[in-house]
Structure 1
Amino acid sequence: MVVLSGIALGAIGGEAVHGQVRPPAYLIGQIEVTDPEGYAREYLPKAREIIKAHGGRLVAAAGAAAGSPIVAVDGNPPKRVVIYAYPSMDALQAWRNDPAYVQVRAVGEKYARYHTFAVEGAASP
């Protein structure tokens, strides 16, 4: 009886934990790099380090310098697109507000123009 009670409580507790799981968040960036050498040398290595520290991982990159083309479905495609996944919107916002990233982003803005936005992933069934 004690064992069955423990199993039941574990199952209920597991459902409560799973019910609180936050969906992943995705950062979509349209980037126009004006100085590829400066961008690659001064911005990317530091930015990638900080992204990784916040749980971000590159999902897709296409366009200029990415090696794969952007396929236009409707309208004109941007010059470069990146998609990063984060464990949650909180993690994504913590990355974007990290003082180290704010500083490195100022460097990136010398070499590129950014249009970025974030969306939460669909809830799992």
Structure 2
Amino acid sequence: MIAQVKLAFGIAAGFGLGALTVQALHAQAGPPAYVISEITVTDADAYNREYVPLANRALAESGQRRLASGGRTVALAGEPPASRIVVSVFENLEKARAAYSSPDYLAARAIGDRYGRLRIFAVEGLAQ
């Protein structure tokens, strides 16, 4: 009987400690960062063939998760959007900034600038 009480107490203590650890890790993570890219493509074939594979490879290694990429876009207010919109999420603003200033992405961007006008910005999201 005493062994069962000790076991139950040990399980409860372990569960409580685990819950506190998970909560602390979530608190340290900080808010995510969303990157919005507005791209006016001037040469779609070259853009898709030369820039997109290099940029995708460079950003995939950075932890980027793409949420939207070139899908149907409609203006809800103001000017119409560029011909291509990409929305990505990163763990935080620092990781987004690092991804878009990495040597691999900057090399891809030099090619992309030949085939379109890119406007890329990041916004810090709300802590989850």
Tell me how far 1:53 sits from its aligned partner. 0.8
* Counterpart pick for 2:63 among 52, 55, 59: 55
Counterpart Cα distance in 1 of 2:77 and 2:17: 51
More helix by share: 2
In structure 2, the partner of 1:104 is 108
Count of aligned pairs between the two proteins: 119
1:38 equivalent to 2:42? Answer no
1:1-125 equivalent positions in 2, closer than 5 A: 3=10, 6-62=14-70, 66=71, 68=72, 70-78=73-81, 79-124=83-128
One-letter code aligned to 1:35: D
TM-score, normalised on structure 2? Answer: 0.80
Q: Which has the larger radius of gyration?
A: 2
Question: Shift in Å at residue 77 of structure 1?
Answer: 1.2
Corresponding residue SS for 2:60: helix
Q: Deviations over 1:14-68 (max 9, x none)?
A: 3322211122211101111111111111100110111111111221134xxx4x2
Aligned-residue offset at 1:7: 4.6
**Secondary structure, aligned partner of 2:29:** coil
Q: Please state whether the residue corresponding to 1:122 is helix, strand or coil.
A: coil
Distance 1:7 1:59, change over 3 A: closer
In structure 1, stretches of 5+ residues that fail to align are none
Identity across the alignment (%)? 39
Gaps of 5+ in 2: 1-5
- The two structures have a TM-score, normalised by structure 1, of 0.82
Residue 77 of structure 2: SS of its match in structure 1? Answer: coil
Q: 2-side partners of 1:99 and 1:86: how far apart? A: 18
